[in-house]
Amino acid sequence: MDTPSIIEKGAYKYVEAGQGEPLLVLHGLFGALSNFTDVLNHFSSRFRVIIPLLPIYELPMLSTSAKSLAKHIEGFVDELELGKVHLLGNSLGGHVGLIFTRDNLELVASLTLTASSGLYENAFGNSFPRREDKSFIREKVAVTFFDPKHATDDLVDECFEAVNSREKVLRILAIAKSAIRHNMSKDLPQMNIPVCLIWGRNDIITPPEVAEDFQSGFPDSDLFWIEECGHAPMMEHPKTFNRILSDWYQARKIGHPQGN
């Protein structure tokens, strides 16, 4: 199954598939819907999987931040009348999910983080002065993965286009800086819900010790490693990622396969 067509409802754009309890999937800063095609296809047999497009490049400049993206998700959950949701976030999407969870704990049934920011990340840093150099951008995209073959031409082109738009790059930097400022370590102990952490053992953007710090901070979490894997486990090892999360949902009695 290909990624479904984008649905527009009011100020919100999203794709969805499946039926059942809502599983809200939050993409990262350079994330595209295609990053989660395997997740959507796999979990739509157990959940109503919904992937909203985060308005990273559309918010007013002065309110472009991880917190404002979490507010956008609040409005989205309200607009679709989703009630209680299961959250799955990668990278910046995980951070947005953390802020949403902190502020709306009663609306979150479970939280899954993979390569999430929120405690620490080694982002682009001071690399943007060379943004016109496409080979440099390819190198930067490649470090997202353990195996650089996953840095496809499409991903490189998408990233290259973003960092060569002045409006987009200013928003990227604003969000990245807001994420660094918005450390969530003191908030984790209050998030007393089931948390699944799935981490690439070779992630150099949010390294393994970040996952261990998350596990130490949450009252109720399980941590799973994927070997030979970088910052995007759901893309680099989709079958392993889906199996780990499926088994965790099963063990925690979360979600229901259609027909059961």
CB atoms within 10 A of CB 219: 12
User: Quick one: pLDDT at residue 260?
Assistant: 42
Say if residues 40 and 153 touch (Cβ distance below 8 Å).
Answer: no
User: Quick one: pLDDT at residue 248?
Assistant: 98
Q: Is 67 helix (H, G, I), strand (E, B) or coil?
A: helix
pTM across the whole model = 0.89
- Residue whose pair of structure tokens reads 């979600």 in the numeric block: 255
Enter the tokens of residue 30: 């350079």
User: Quick one: pLDDT at residue 168?
Assistant: 76
- Residue whose pair of structure tokens reads 């996952």 in the numeric block: 211
Regarding the domain with residue range 7-121+183-251, which homologous superfamily does it belong to in the CATH classification?
Alpha/Beta hydrolase fold, catalytic domain (3.40.50.1820)
User: Quick one: pLDDT at residue 123?
Assistant: 57
Rounded Cα gap, residues 246 and 34, in angstroms: 20
Q: Is 97 helix (H, G, I), strand (E, B) or coil?
A: helix
* Residues of the chain under the 50 pLDDT cut: 124-129, 259-260
Q: In what helix (H) or strand (E) does residue 155 lie, and over which residues does it extend?
A: helix 153-163
